[in-house]
Amino acid sequence: MGAARQRTLNAAIGCAGVGLHGGEKVAMRLVPAPADSGIVLRRIDLGGAEIAARHTNIVSSTMCTTLGDGNGVGVATVEHLMAALAGLGVDNAVIELDGPEVPIMDGSAAPFVFLIECAGIVEQAAPRRVIEVLKPVVVSEGARAIRLMPAAAFSLTFAIAYEHPVIGRQSCAIALVDGAFKREIARARTYGFLSDVDRLRGMGLVLGGSLDNAVVLDDDGVINDEGLRYADELVRHKALDCIGDLYLAGAPLMAHVEATASGHGLNARLLEALFADETAWRLVTLDEAVERDWPADQPIAATA
């Protein structure tokens, strides 16, 4: 589960790009934050309105995760940035934006990993807190499902299946240890199908989407000139999304996650189900969590 103390950025750092769905240009700056403040989104174009990056602030899960403050101020497409913060173990940061959406960059979490590493990460005096999952929690919708199980560290397995020659059935497993997120997951890009583009744009979505920030598939294969970054890039991106969505718990989850074709909406419902059952979790310091006497057959971590 990483360092025993909370961590933030060593220095502020910024970038600019377009929003995947709104298509608007947006500048973003990642700023160090005090211990126990968590991840906070700040709309500097709207007087500094702030939104805590928590599942209770999710206002939409259509094609991305959007957070709002209840007063009409929102930030869309937070999942890739949240995944990078989770994967690198950043507990506290302020995310300043001058627009309504986190820039999509290249469609993966890798640019955000690069920014965080350039800024540097420093430990803080306060102990790191984790959410220890105490019993299984599952939500499902037809063939799609996601489950949390008690475990001694965070790990995830994800599976998808499409009737498409490039995709078929794919699965991956990841444990957020020893740089595995950066190595195995961060570069996996969002993806979509060419046949859906006109319909989605008619709904006001993917207006900023292009071959520069998404893997696009037609009936026969990938139309991007560079091809895929991993043979199973699509399922790795779904795992990336899931990691980012689940970091909206407000602290790292001490759990093993099993997901089948889960999306943003189901990921959000899993967190709702977890916190609705007070017997299913407890908030503890990392030191307290690792002192637990785990059964020998308890899941520890998936292999990447």
Residue 264 a catalytic site member: yes
Tokens representing 220? Answer: 């026969």
Amino acid at 142: G
pLDDT bin (cut points 50, 70, 90) of residue 287 is confident
The predicted pLDDT at position 292 comes to 62
Distance, in Å, from the CA atom of 116 to the CA atom of 121, rounded to the nearest integer, reads 7
Tokens representing 56? Answer: 């209770």
Q: Domains along the chain? A: 5-127 (3.30.230.20), 130-290 (3.30.1700.10)
Give bridge partners of residue 152 from the DSSP assignment.
Answer: none
The average pLDDT across 77-97 equals 98
Distance, in Å, from the CA atom of 185 to the CA atom of 159, rounded to the nearest integer, reads 14
| Helices of type H across the chain | 79-87, 110-119, 180, 197-202, 233-246, 264-276, 286-290
Task: Give percent above pLDDT 90 in the chain.
Answer: 91
- Residue 295 pLDDT exceeds 70: no
- Residue 5 pLDDT exceeds 60: yes
Lowest mean pLDDT among 148-152, 216-220, 269-273, 291-295: 291-295
Within 10 angstroms of residue 106's Cβ, the number of other Cβ atoms is 16
User: Average pLDDT, whole number, for the chain?
Assistant: 93
What per-residue string of b and e applies to 132-154 under the rule 16 or more CB within 10 Å gives b?
A: bbbeebebeeeeebbbbbbbbbb
Distance, in Å, from the CA atom of 287 to the CA atom of 69, rounded to the nearest integer, reads 33
Full-prediction pTM beyond 0.85?
Answer: yes
By residue count, the chain amounts to 304
Distance, in Å, from the CA atom of 167 to the CA atom of 221, rounded to the nearest integer, reads 9
Cα dist from 91 to 39, 130, 162, 243, whole Å? 7, 10, 36, 14
Residue 120, helix vs strand vs coil:
coil
- On whether the CB atoms of residues 31 and 9 are closer than 8 A, the answer is yes
Give bridge partners of residue 169 from the DSSP assignment.
Answer: 161
Amino acid at 157: T
Burial of 275 (0-12, 13-18, 19+ CB in 10 A): middle
Task: Give percent above pLDDT 70 in the chain.
Answer: 94
Within 10 angstroms of residue 218's Cβ, the number of other Cβ atoms is 12
Task: List phi, psi (to 5°) of 91.
Answer: -90, -35
Identified catalytic residue from 80, 237, 256, 264? 264
- Residue 265 pLDDT exceeds 70: yes
Within 10 angstroms of residue 203's Cβ, the number of other Cβ atoms is 11
Distance, in Å, from the CA atom of 127 to the CA atom of 92, rounded to the nearest integer, reads 12
The predicted pLDDT at position 2 comes to 58
The predicted pLDDT at position 3 comes to 67
Distance, in Å, from the CA atom of 122 to the CA atom of 261, rounded to the nearest integer, reads 36
Convert the pLDDT of each residue in 16-39 to its tens digit. Answer: 999 999 999 999 999 999 999 999
The owner of tokens 């302020």 is 94
Distance, in Å, from the CA atom of 121 to the CA atom of 58, rounded to the nearest integer, reads 27
